Amino acid sequence: MYAGFWLRLRAFAIDYVLIFTYMGVVFLFSVFIMPSVQEWFQGSRITAQLTGFMLITLPVSLYFIVADSKIGKQSFGKRQMQIKVVNDNNQMLSIGQATVRTLIKFLPWELSHYMAYRMIYLGDGDLHQLDYWIVGVLYALISLYVFMVIFTKNKQSLYDRLSKTYVVNTRFS
């Protein structure tokens, strides 16, 4: 049986408690132990984007890649909600397949970071047409991700379809 939207959302919320805890540790580290890290966010837009990616996006992505693959079997949130990600053959994901799924899944997250750094860099300046296009793609992807889980027969999000994965309820297996 495929895991629906609310079950997946609860699992993601539980995982986000871990992610926010990690982000809190990074914040405390950057304020009290190594304040020079804050300067990396105040330099160029590219430096800020790369720093944010290395400190937050990459570790979070690696967590989901390992956790959702055959190495970890389930993320902490998925384990609590008794769901897991499987491939077309109902097998655990390889690292490669988990990587593809995670990259597509977090594309909107990284686009939102890009736009946040862009808006900080511009201040009160004008946004370019490309910026509006990126925001449109960002909202379209988030909407597709949610609506596809709600309305498709197999409860697959866009990133599930593209990576040929399914989120299944383990209570019934």
Give the pLDDT confidence score for residue 92 in this predicted structure.
93
Within 33-106, where are the H helices?
37-42, 45-52, 58-67, 76-81, 95-105
Give the pLDDT confidence score for residue 125 in this predicted structure.
66
Give the pLDDT confidence score for residue 166 in this predicted structure.
95
Asked if residues 62 and 126 have their Cβ atoms less than 8 Å apart, the reply is: no
Please check the confidence at residue 40 and state whether its pLDDT lies above 80: no
Phi/psi of residue 83, each to 5°? Answer: -130, 160
Segment 43-76, tens digit of pLDDT: 677 887 888 888 889 999 999 999 999 998 899 9
Beta bridge partners of 92: 86
What is the distance between the alpha carbons of residues 104 and 66, in angstroms, rounded to a whole number?
15
What is the distance between the alpha carbons of residues 7 and 169, in angstroms, rounded to a whole number?
9
Does this model's pTM top 0.95?
no
